[in-house]
Structure 1
Amino acid sequence: MQNLLIIDADQNSLRVLQQLEQLEHVRIIGIVDTNANDSVSKFARQKGIPHGPDPESFLSGNVQLVLDFSGNFPFTYNPKYPQITVLSKSSSQLIVKLLACQGTELELLQSDILIYKSIFNSVGEGMIGIDGMGTINLFNDSASKMLGFSFDEVLGKPILSVIPESGLPDVLKKGQIDSNVELQLTNGLDILSSRYPLVMPDGTITGAFAVFKDITGVIRTAEEITDLKRVKTMLEAIIHSSDDAISVVDSEGLGILVNPAYTRLTGLTDKEVIGQPATVDISSGESIHMRVLETKRPVRGVNMQLGENNRDVIVNVAPIIVDQEVKGSVGVIHDITEMRSLMKQLDHAKAMIRELESTYTFDDILGNNEDLLIAVSQAKIAAGSEIPVMLRGEPGSGKELFAHAIHTGSKRKESEFIRVSCSSLDVDAIEAAIKHTEIQHEKRSGTLFLDEITELKPDVQKKLLEYIGSGSITAAGKPIQLSVRIITSSAANLERAVHEGVLCEELYYQLTRMSIRIPPLRMRTDDIGILTDALLAMLNQEFGMAIQQVTPEAMLRLQSYEWPGNVRELENVLSRAMILTESGSAKLNEEDIVRALSSRSVQQPDSALPDKRTLASLMEDHEKLLLETSLRENNGQKVLTADRLGISLRSLYYKLEKYKLI
């Protein structure tokens, strides 16, 4: 440390000299003011520097250098103070001038340093540098944020103690640039780093520095883009492989995607649809795509005509919402013509299955209705007896199911159960049926179920009465003793049939010795939930589907319907609803039930086609007839009619105006 004593310098010179204190090894320990200059005294007091008029008071072992601005200092060298070097007035003034120049340059340099430091700390990339010994001497704010260390924490520390995986020591050693190196830091941050040796003009390597940036977000974005492309490809593959026709439009209602099933259904190729308005494929009615884009709500179950062939379809359309904004809509289109064909095949298959099945028990009779429970109780009593049983109830109410249950609950369960429709019986057929139920003499005979007894021809009624009375029938001129259990059923009014001579009175009394009345479904609506669950389980197995439930709204719709076809109609409606529902759905909605109830009443015309009529005109006539019928059944109420037909109120009014029905 060099201790400095100043003699008689003015205030400006002192201000310059004070720059000496910024040097690491220089300190001003006193100011001699022989002229009692107030400004010098004030300056000394402000800076906390000892001052006074007597130089001798400051000369001690602590002074090494004296700057004499007075020119009157008594010695330049004094053996008494050998450690002191005295500079003359001219030398002292020269130092002041040199310091003044240096100060100006220093200020400019400091200004440049501040600018460079600001730039250095403003860039988004992290910067870190080391000296020739591998210790950190450069560290900007971005590096601090990424690494989690402050400048003071890392300055002067070995680079490997802060970043163990750093490659700067290798760059310092080899003197070669290392560009675009991916690296994961210990804090999990992914960076891309370039490292450079610090080469002086003479070729000497004095250090190395690295510039690096956080690429974690870039990697994540790249992964997201890759995932999005993969998902897009997968979705397009799913859409194109779907058997349902699918069309997608953008937020302006212009087509952006259709699948091959759409082309097969409408006859329109993707070139004819993509970029065109959503109405391009509509033969009649409004665009459901545009309605969905306006309302931002899905629309389901709309009957429309699409394509060049005016195909009857049911359309479901839903909005595509991204970040709370509607970006477009997607429509799934079902061909009704194909569905009707499937429904016919289904009904035929179910009829065949019923003919083959014959193992129903009382456990298969489901419901908690009081009248039903009474009927079941009576049937169980009948199973333990041998007398004829008459099952009375509306078509589809379950008379055949009761007959099966009585048979399997009786001693004859190991024998055959034969169902015969009375409308097809003649005398030879009744004899053959009764004989067929006699399996072997050693075994008990089976059960003969005669369905709709009032349709039995008079001569067959006589033959049946003969068997019931004697236990035998006469065939080929000789009596044959048999033991066959007779169960009959009827949906007609038996008493009226007797009164009108349709049914033999004596046969009536024989067959109704035990009469069981089965309540219609409309009288036990509380059982619809139990029946629906059981039917869904059965239909899921038949169709290979997985419908688990019916929504509360759909159940209310089922319970409010009159069910003229009873349980059989309920089964048909549920099967139709399962076919009409969206693929992969696990529940039936109210719209599915409405469409199923609507489609059940569509009949094919029995008459031959009239001459010179086009298909379009025939379909229009049929549509007009259906509208008239539905309006009449709903007492002219438009809302109920639209709901019954499964179309929107707006579409209903359009069709009513088209056919001049309003």
Structure 2
Amino acid sequence: MDRAELFQTVLDSIIEGVILIDKDSKITFMNKQASLMLGIPVSQVINKSVTDAIPNTRLHIVLKTGVPEVNRIQQLGNTKIITTRIPIRDKTGAIIGAVAIFRDITSVQKMAEEVTNLREIEVLLKTIIESTSDAISVADENGRIVMVNKAYTKITGFSAQDVIGKLATVDIAQGESMHLRVAQTRQPIYGARLLVGPGKREVIVDVTPLFVRGEFKGSVGVIHDVSEIAKLTKELDEVKRLIRRMGAKYSFEDIIAESSKMKIAVTQAMKVASTPATVLLRGESGTGKELFAHAIHNASDRRDKPFVSVNCAAIPESILESELFGYTSGAFTGAKKEGKKGLLEEAHRGTIFFDEIGKMPLLLQSKLLRFLESKEIVPVGGTKPVRIDARIIAATNMNLEKMVQEGSFLPDLYFRLNVFPIFLPPLRERREDIPYLAQHIIKKLNQQYGRLVEGISSDALRKLIHYDWPGNVRELENIMGRAMINMEADERIIKLHHIPPLEEIRHFSSITKAGSHKQLLLEYEKGVILKALEENSWNVQKTAENLKISIRTLYYRMKMLGIKREGRRI
């Protein structure tokens, strides 16, 4: 092999493209790699002018100027190359040609960009983990810690240098490492209680496995400080109380009243709103009594003061007294050291709304009566009266007059509350309001459901108008919501077939007409206790054990339900 063949063999073996031109700018040599990158056969370019054969070339410029061009990036179609162009001189320094050496860097640049992106993502993730207030630790597939954040150090007392590279048991003072358990089971763990760090801090840990393309690569743990949770819970309670104080969000503009009966109720409410008079809102469940209470408060001169809402049926009887009247320090086991304001005191200079006032126990009825007469309360465990200026709005769906006759509601309290009664008509007596209520509910549910429902068809509306509505407006909203759920995403009008069957609701109504929901429950409870007593030959201790209640509770329920021990019912 002569020198020329050796020269060509070497240049054809390298990964760079090489092109040589003579002093007349004609191509004298091009290796195989250059041919592949340019997509031009060698035979088509030899002895041809470089400007005619090679697109975007600058070899002829380097030949003319004698100035080398080093590491220049150039685009060739979809390929990006890095090229160096050098003039060739003879022994005297005269330019006799030029050479271009270039390499395809498309894949190299893509890899570099990917590496750069990965580094940027890594930095971003680290920044996010560091900035979060949750304590985070990350372990590899073997349960060794690879990353922790500052919040982790704050809770455990261990720095990153203390734990990285060590087994995840390093920070456990008492309990099992959840990272190691997840490494064994490949399953997430939530709500594990542990003691961590030198200070044995109590924490709750959630650990989730990490999978990359289906392969387990480790786990990430989020550590919650129990003491911090307790603090946040206390703050949340305070916020709830604040929200409860500021909860009057409706006005008379929110009340739909096209029917004559509803217009009368609104007119009465607007007249009494400007006075300090006690208001008793009467009406079936779902007729809008709470809405009226909000509107009356917001139309009064107390609108900028607290509005406190109390559902007498929702608060357990055992704590209702302390909730209403507050308590002093050490009033009972579990009481806060600093004591606690009651809801009546929170409503000072504002309005307090007693919903379902008929469900208030007799003992508290007498205390509420004393407040209405004296405008003073005495907190539980206290001796010093506190003067309160709070307007009373009460609401009920019960027959208070009958309750007074039966002795379950104090007559004096009834007369104190019944200063200005407002009767809210049931929906079946204000059917002309239904089209307006339906449209209002559609707008409200559109926001909640993220829908674009525009209205309701005439036949669907006709069905709603002719229904009896035992649940009133609350039931109408329920039916409208179910109808919207039955619609397809692209439908805009509620049609008859979207309305759910109303017969089942009418059947429920006919059942409950025989007695109230509470009465039916009491009858059922009486039957259960009687059956258990008979099965245990009226042995009260065995009966209580079978029912999983205390003997004292069983005796109390028997007395309340009118069951005599010898089997005769009262």
TM-score by length of 2: 0.51
Aligned-partner SS, 1:149: coil
Report what 1:276 is aligned to: 166
The Cα shift of 1:158 comes to: 0.9
| Cα offset, 1:140, TM superposition | 1.4
Is this contact kept in 1: 2:369–2:412, CA < 8 A? Answer: no
Confirm or deny that 1:123 pairs with 2:14: yes
Give, in whole Å, the separation in 2 of the partners of 1:380 and 1:286: 67
Match of 1:523 in 2: none
> Which residue among 261, 264, 269 is the counterpart of 2:154?
264
The residue aligned with 2:73 is 183
Residue ranges of structure 1 left out of the alignment (5+ in a row):
1-107, 366-376, 426-431, 438-445, 467-483, 519-530, 539-546, 550-566, 568-631, 636-662
- Please point out which of 289, 294, 308 is paired with 1:402: 289
Alpha-carbon spacing, 1:307–1:463, altered in 2? closer, same or farther (3 Å): closer
CA distance in 2, matches of 1:379, 1:342: 44
Partner of 1:306: 196
Distance 1:331 1:197, change over 3 A: same
Correspondence for 1:161? 52
Show the 5 A alignment for 1:599-614. none
The letter for the 2-side match of 1:163 is I
| TM, length-normalised to structure 1 | 0.45
RMSD: 5.5
Q: Alignment partner for residue 394 of structure 2, among 476, 483, 488? A: 488
Conserved? CA contact 2:281–2:289, under 8 Å: no
Alignment partner, residue 194 of structure 1: 84
Is 1:337 matched with 2:227?
A: yes
Partner residue in 1 for 2:122: 232
In structure 1, the partner of 2:176 is 286
Distance across 1 between alignment mates of 2:182 and 2:236 = 34
Q: 1:258 Cα deviation (Å)?
A: 1.1
The answer on whether the counterparts of 1:379 and 1:402 sit within 8 Å (CA) in structure 2 is: no
- Partner of 1:280: helix, strand, or coil? coil
Paired residue for 1:215?
105
Structure 2 counterpart SS, 1:133: coil
Q: What is the letter of the counterpart of residue 149 of structure 2?
A: N
Shift of 1:491: 11
Matches within 5 A, 1:423-462: 424=325, 449=353, 454-455=362-363, 458=366, 461=369
Measured at CA, do residues 347 and 184 of structure 1 come closer, stay the same or move farther in structure 2, by a change above 3 Å? same
Query: 1:262: Cα distance to partner?
Result: 0.5
Contact 1:383 1:409 in 2 (8 A): no
Q: Distance in 2 between matches of 1:115 and 1:201?
A: 23
Aligned length: 374
The structural deviation recorded for 1:253 is 1.7
Aligned partners of 2:293 and 2:353 also within 8 Å: no
- In structure 2, what residue type is equivalent to 1:408? A
Distance between the aligned counterparts of 1:210 and 1:463, measured in 2? 102
- After superposition, residues 571-650 of structure 1 pair within 5 angstroms as none
- The 8 Å contact of residues 246 and 258 in structure 1, kept in 2 or not, is answered as yes
SS of the residue corresponding to residue 185 of structure 1 reads: strand
Q: 1:180 to 1:489 in 2, by over 3 A?
A: same
Q: Which amino acid aligns with 1:263?
A: T
- Hey, what does 2:410 align to over in structure 1? 504
Report deviation, 1:141: 1.6
Instruction: Give SS of 2:169's match.
Output: helix
Give how far 1:228 is off: 3.1
1:146 equivalent in structure 2 = 37
Q: Deviations over 1:35-79 (max 9, x none)?
A: xxxxxxxxxxxxxxxxxxxxxxxxxxxxxxxxxxxxxxxxxxxxx
- What letter corresponds to residue 295 of structure 2 in structure 1? T
Determine if contact 2:365/2:410 at 8 Å carries over to the other structure: no
Q: Any gaps of 5 or more consecutive residues in structure 2?
A: 270-277, 311-320, 327-343, 375-389, 427-440, 452-473, 475-544, 549-570
Shift of 1:240: 1.9
What displacement does 1:273 show? 1.0
Q: Report which stretch shifted further, 242-251 or 166-175.
A: 166-175
Alpha carbons of 1:485 and 1:308: their partners in 2 closer, same or farther (altered >3 Å)? Answer: closer
Q: What letter corresponds to residue 137 of structure 1 in structure 2?
A: T
State the distance in 1 between where 2:87 and 2:74 align. 22
Q: 1-side partners of 2:396 and 2:199: how far apart?
A: 47
Point out which structure has higher relative CO (alpha carbons under 8 A, 6+ apart): 2
Query: 1:548, CA displacement in angstroms?
Result: 9.9
* 1:338–1:224 distance in 2 versus 1, CA, 3 Å: same
Shift of 1:419: 6.0
Matches of 2:171 and 2:102 in 1, distance apart?
A: 57
Shift in Å, 1:126: 0.5
Aligned-partner SS, 1:329: strand
Q: Which amino acid aligns with 1:314?
A: I
